[in-house]
C-alpha cells in the first residue's frame, strides 16, 4: 500500500515531534496517575500512535486520520474522558489535515466524523466516573463542535488554496509548453524557409554555371579569348552562391531567425535587372515587358516575386533546351500584380524531376496572399508558363 510506504516530509515529522513531546508526555503522566497499571499499556500505545500518525497527515491523510480517530476513541472509551485527555488535541489537527489533503469524499466525511466525535466525547466526559463533578453535556458538546467547525473550515480553506496554487502551476506549465511549441514551430518554419532559399540559390547558381561552362567549352575552341570572360562569370556566380550559402547555413546552425539579421538584405524587384543580366550572360535570351503603373511592394512580396522569376528562369535554363527564349511580363493594371514567365521550350533539356521549385513558388506566394498557376505555354503543348497573381491589398503598400 502506497500510504504505508510513503515517507513523510521532515517538517511534518518535526511538527509531530513538537506536539508529541509536551502534550504526549502530559497525557502519559495523567494516564500513569489515573489508570491502573494493568490497563495502562493499550492507552499509552493509543497516545503514541495518535501523535505518530500526525507525521503522515499530508502524504497519507486518510490513513493518518483513521489512526488518529481510532486512537482518540480508545482513549475516550477507556478513561471516560479524563477529562478530555491532552493528547486528544491531535484529533482536530488530523481533522484539519484530512479536510485539506484528503480525497473528494473528505469534504463530507470530515465534518460528519468530527461532529460524531465531538458529541461522543462530550457525553463520555460529562458522565465520567463516580465522584467526579458533572459537566453540562450541551456546554461541552457546543465547545467541541466549535473546535471541529474551526478545524474543518481551516482545512477547507487550505484545500482551496492548494487547488488554486495547483491550477496556477498547471497554467504556467501549459503556457511554458505553448511557448516551447511556438518556438519549435518558428524554428521549423524558419528552417523550411531557409531550405527553399537554399534550393533557389543552389539551383539557379548551378544552372547558370552549367550553361556558362557549356558556352565556355565551345568558345574555347572557336574564340579562345572569350573563354577567360566566361570563366570570370562562372567565378563570380560561384562566389555569390557561396556567400548566400554561408548566410543560409548560419541560420540553420543557430536554429533561430535572429541569425538572419547578420545575413545580407534579401533581393526584391530592385535586384531583378541583376538577375536578368546573369541569366542572359548564361546564354538565355530574355524579353522583359511591363504594363500598367508600378506601385511599391512590401519587402516580403518583393522577395517572393524575385524568387518566382528566378525559379522560372532557372527551370528554363535546365529544361527548355539549347536556344530557348524566355519572356517575362509584369502587369500592374487592375487590382493585382500579374507576373508571367514563359519559354518556347525548343528542347527537352536536362530534367531532374524534383519539382521542389514549383512547390516553393506556390508556398511563398500563398504566404503573401497570392496564387501561382503553371502549365504549357503554347497550344501545341510546347514551352512552359508560370503565372502568378498577387492582390494589391496583400502584397502592395498604398502610396
Tell me the mean pLDDT per 10 residues along the chain, length 399.
Answer: 62 77 75 72 79 82 85 71 68 87 83 82 64 63 84 90 91 88 74 65 67 67 68 71 62 49 64 88 87 86 88 84 86 92 68 60 83 84 88 58
DSSP label at residue 22 = I
C-alpha cell at 310: 528566378
The verdict on residue 202 lying in a domain is: no
Tell which of 88, 119, 135 closes a domain: 135
- Domain extent at residue 23: 2-135
So what's the pLDDT on residue 319?
A: 78
Tell which of 135, 159, 175 closes a domain: 135
The verdict on residue 113 lying in a domain is: yes
Cα distance between residue 291 and residue 343, in whole Å: 19
In 3D space, the residue among 143, 137, 138 whose CA is nearest the CA of residue 125 turns out to be 137
Residue located via cell numbers 524579353: 287
- N-term to C-term CA, the chain: 76
So what's the pLDDT on residue 225?
A: 65
So what's the pLDDT on residue 75?
A: 73
239 CB contacts (<8 Å, ≥6 apart)?
A: none
Question: Domains in the chain: how many in total?
Answer: 2
In 3D space, the residue among 278, 275, 57 whose CA is nearest the CA of residue 151 turns out to be 57
pTM of the model: 0.47
So what's the pLDDT on residue 392?
A: 84
The verdict on residue 253 lying in a domain is: no
The verdict on residue 286 lying in a domain is: yes
C-alpha cell at 131: 465522584
The strand ranges marked E within the chain are 285-291, 325-331, 336-343, 371-375, 384-391
Instruction: Determine the length of the chain.
Output: 399
Tell which of 82, 102, 135 closes a domain: 135
DSSP string, 217-234: HHHHHH-HHHHHHHHHHH
In 3D space, the residue among 312, 236, 299 whose CA is nearest the CA of residue 271 turns out to be 299
Amino acid at each position: 500500500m502506497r500510504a504505508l510506504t510513503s515517507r513523510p516530509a521532515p517538517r511534518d515529522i518535526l511538527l509531530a515531534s513538537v506536539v508529541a513531546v509536551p502534550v504526549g508526555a502530559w497525557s502519559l503522566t495523567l494516564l500513569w496517575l489515573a489508570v491502573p497499571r494493568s490497563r495502562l499499556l493499550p492507552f499509552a500505545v493509543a497516545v503514541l500512535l495518535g501523535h505518530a500518525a500526525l507525521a503522515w497527515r499530508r502524504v497519507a491523510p486518510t490513513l493518518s486520520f483513521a489512526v488518529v480517530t481510532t486512537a482518540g476513541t480508545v482513549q475516550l472509551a477507556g478513561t471516560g474522558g479524563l477529562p478530555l485527555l491532552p493528547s486528544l488535541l491531535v484529533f482536530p489537527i488530523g481533522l484539519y489535515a484530512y479536510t485539506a489533503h484528503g480525497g473528494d469524499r473528505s469534504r463530507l466525511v470530515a465534518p460528519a466524523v468530527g461532529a460524531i466525535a465531538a458529541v461522543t466525547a462530550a457525553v463520555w466526559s460529562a458522565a465520567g466516573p463516580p465522584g467526579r463533578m458533572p459537566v453540562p453535556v450541551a456546554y461541552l458538546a457546543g465547545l467541541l463542535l466549535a473546535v471541529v467547525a474551526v478545524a474543518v473550515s481551516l482545512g477547507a480553506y487550505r484545500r482551496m488554496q492548494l487547488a488554486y496554487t495547483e491550477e496556477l502551476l498547471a497554467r504556467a506549465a501549459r503556457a511554458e509548453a505553448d511557448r516551447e511549441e511556438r518556438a519549435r514551430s518558428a524554428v521549423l518554419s524558419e528552417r523550411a524557409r531557409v531550405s527553399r532559399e537554399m534550393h533557389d540559390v543552389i539551383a539557379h547558381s548551378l544552372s547558370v554555371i552549367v550553361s556558362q561552362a557549356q558556352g565556355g567549352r565551345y568558345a574555347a575552341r572557336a574564340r579562345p579569348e572569350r573563354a577567360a570572360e566566361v570563366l570570370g562569370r562562372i567565378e563570380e556566380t560561384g562566389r555569390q552562391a557561396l556567400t548566400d550559402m554561408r548566410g543560409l547555413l548560419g541560420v540553420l546552425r543557430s536554429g533561430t531567425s535572429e541569425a538572419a539579421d547578420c545575413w545580407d538584405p534579401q533581393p526584391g524587384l530592385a535586384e531583378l535587372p541583376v538577375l536578368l543580366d546573369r541569366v542572359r550572360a548564361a546564354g538565355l535570351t530574355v524579353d522583359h515587358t511591363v504594363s500598367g503603373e508600378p506601385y511599391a511592394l512590401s519587402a516580403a512580396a518583393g522577395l517572393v516575386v524575385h524568387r518566382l522569376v528566378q525559379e522560372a528562369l532557372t527551370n528554363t535554363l535546365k529544361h527548355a533546351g539549347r536556344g530557348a527564349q524566355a519572356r517575362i511580363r509584369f502587369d500592374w493594371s487592375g487590382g493585382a500584380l500579374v507576373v508571367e514567365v514563359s519559354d518556347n521550350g525548343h528542347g527537352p533539356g536536362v530534367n531532374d524531376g524534383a519539382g521542389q521549385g514549383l512547390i516553393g513558388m506556390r508556398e511563398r506566394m500563398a504566404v503573401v496572399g497570392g496564387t501561382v498557376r503553371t502549365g504549357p505555354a503554347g497550344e501545341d503543348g510546347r514551352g512552359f508558363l508560370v503565372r502568378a497573381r498577387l492582390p494589391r491589398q496583400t502584397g502592395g503598400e498604398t502610396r
